[in-house]
Amino acid sequence: MGRYQRKTDRQSWSQESMAGAIQEVLEGNMGYRRASKAYSVPQTTLERKVKEARQKKLSSEAAAVKMLGRYKTVFSEAQEKEFVQHLIHLEERLFGITLSDLRTLAFELAEKNNIPHVFNTEKRMAGKDWLYGFLKRHPRLVLRYPEKTSIARAKGFNRVAINVFFDLLDSLYSKYKFSPNDIYNADETGILTVANKPSKVLALRGKKQVGTLTSAEWGVLVTAETCVNAAGNFHQLYHESGWINKETFLVWFKKFLEHSNPGPKKPVLLIIDGHNFHTKSLELVNLAWANNVVLLCFPPHTTHRLQPLDVSFIAPLNTFYEQETRKWLINHPGRCVTIYQVGKLFKAAFSRAATVQTAVKGFGKTGIYPFNRDVFPEYLLAPSETTEKLLDNTSELKQASYNGDVEHQPSTSSSETMPTIETQPFSSTFNISPAVVMPFPRETESIIKRVNDKRRGKTAILILLPYKAELVTIERERSGKKNKQKKGPI
């Protein structure tokens, strides 16, 4: 039928206003004239609706439903609300559907509930007119490009892992009384001579392809170590071509000791991710312990939410670096950005991104400082609910606290275990609900099980004796394997 344009303004009143006016008249609080003026609805329509409500014993909401024209929606208002809620739950679990999937789901929902419809039975999907009307009736839904999120990150960011991390952080705060100047976060970021995502530029409308000049198709990688504290102070960087390893990180850590100046009466907290050169270096752990630096490791695959640098600093840094690179190419036509220009360009971008407001906001958003274990809303944890079983053993996570030098306080959060998914709404408006037609995906038992990998990082206080003993054992096993390889077969 195409996109119909209304030719009159009949029934331009809202159903909520009409329902309120009907309720006032039915309860005897107002007359027809007063209610029509108070709620801005036609008096004659109000009289007809009230008469219908009394005769058929309808509620004010049911009596206020508009009945203009011969076209009606396939699903009722309550059914569409339930439908929308199910679509939102799917997106929260990172299983959002496309417009084509939505049309197919609407057809299946109408068919299985025996709801009369005029959908296409050959293609087995709802039409585009129904789709446009549905989206117009529910402006909460909008078509978006999703961000790619790995399965490991989706599973790793769960309530149990977060509670264990904040329990450790709480115990450290209670013992050491860290000030904002003594709470640090360090992380590595890769810098390419070719920026990943160019900025938008003005171009002719209708042009099929818009290009921008770059130094090459693929860039050369340079790694930068960034560090910031909760007071908003950024510390010296360390650049090295390629990936940072244990040796280069130790060089950076010694520079960090010079800048942070920790001492027996002024210990420093350094929060890092679970890379091997952070968590599997016995030399680093001993150096930190000897210099009054407390090392705390994030839970695996949670830095995109828990790490202040990832949350607030890296994105603007990359944006400013791309802008500086583009300006350099404009000012030096015919030349390419190489690793020899990266230092200067990165310094300019870093100076623009490294603001006190950015740093403080990053620590606040992650709940590290000020301390707030409930900073993350429940919908952010929904992707980890694809299974009722944890990817990691809960006891293994809690063991990471190592009840040695720091007392471990039990979590005060109400959700110590993973919440379960309700596949069927408590009271559905459908005979067969959308959650049954398109249920939430679940993992199978075979996928959940995996071999425990000792190389995998875990949240822990790295300077405690049990963790150091574990590192000593790993070093002995590693040296034993090397000796066997040197001796060769007998």
Confidence of residue 84 (pLDDT cuts 50, 70, 90): very high
Residue 431, pLDDT > 50, answer yes
Residue 57 lies in domain: 15-64
Nearest to 22 by CA among 12, 9, 35: 35
pLDDT at 215: 84
- Rounded distance, CA 61 to CA 139, Å? 21
**To the nearest 10°, the Cα dihedral for 197, 203, 208, 210?**
-30
Q: Residue 372: left if φ>0, alpha if ψ -120 to 50, beta else—which one?
A: beta
Structural domain tally of the chain? 2
Q: Which of 385, 401, 435 represents a domain boundary (last residue)? A: 385
- Rounded distance, CA 101 to CA 125, Å? 9
pLDDT at 407: 43
Using alpha carbons only, give the angle 235, 238, 239 rounded to the nearest 5 degrees: 140
Three-state SS at 311? helix
The sign of the dihedral angle between the CA atoms of 89, 90, 92, 93 is positive
Residue 402, pLDDT > 90, answer no
357 and 254, same structural domain?
Answer: yes
- Rounded distance, CA 190 to CA 222, Å? 6
Share of the chain above pLDDT 90, in %: 49
3-state helix, strand, coil in the chain (%, to 5): 50, 10, 45
Q: What are phi and psi of 14, to 5 degrees?
A: -90, 150
pLDDT digit string, tens, across residues 252-274: 899 899 989 999 999 999 999 98
pLDDT at 379: 86
When pLDDT is averaged across residues 40-49 and rounded to a whole number, the result is 94
Residue 424, pLDDT > 50, answer no
pLDDT digit string, tens, across residues 123-168: 999 999 999 999 999 999 999 999 888 888 888 898 899 999 999 9
Q: Is residue 249 part of a domain?
A: yes
179 and 38, same structural domain?
Answer: no
Average pLDDT of the chain is 83
Residue 400, pLDDT > 80, answer no
pLDDT at 153: 86
pLDDT at 46: 94
When pLDDT is averaged across residues 285-301 and rounded to a whole number, the result is 93
Using alpha carbons only, give the angle 96, 99, 102 rounded to the nearest 5 degrees: 75
CA 225 to chain centre: 24
Q: Is residue 302 part of a domain?
A: yes
pLDDT at 242: 52
Q: Is residue 467 part of a domain?
A: no
pLDDT at 221: 84
Q: What is the CATH number of the domain that holds 244?
A: 3.30.420.10
pLDDT at 457: 62
Q: Which two tokens stand for residue 288?
A: 């930190």
Q: Is residue 7 part of a domain?
A: no
Q: Is residue 123 part of a domain?
A: no
pLDDT at 456: 56
Q: How many CA atoms lie within 13 A of 80 on its CB side?
A: 16
Q: Is residue 321 part of a domain?
A: yes
341 and 229, same structural domain?
Answer: yes
Q: Which of 362, 385, 408 represents a domain boundary (last residue)? A: 385
Confidence of residue 41 (pLDDT cuts 50, 70, 90): very high
161 and 41, same structural domain?
Answer: no
Q: Is residue 95 part of a domain?
A: no
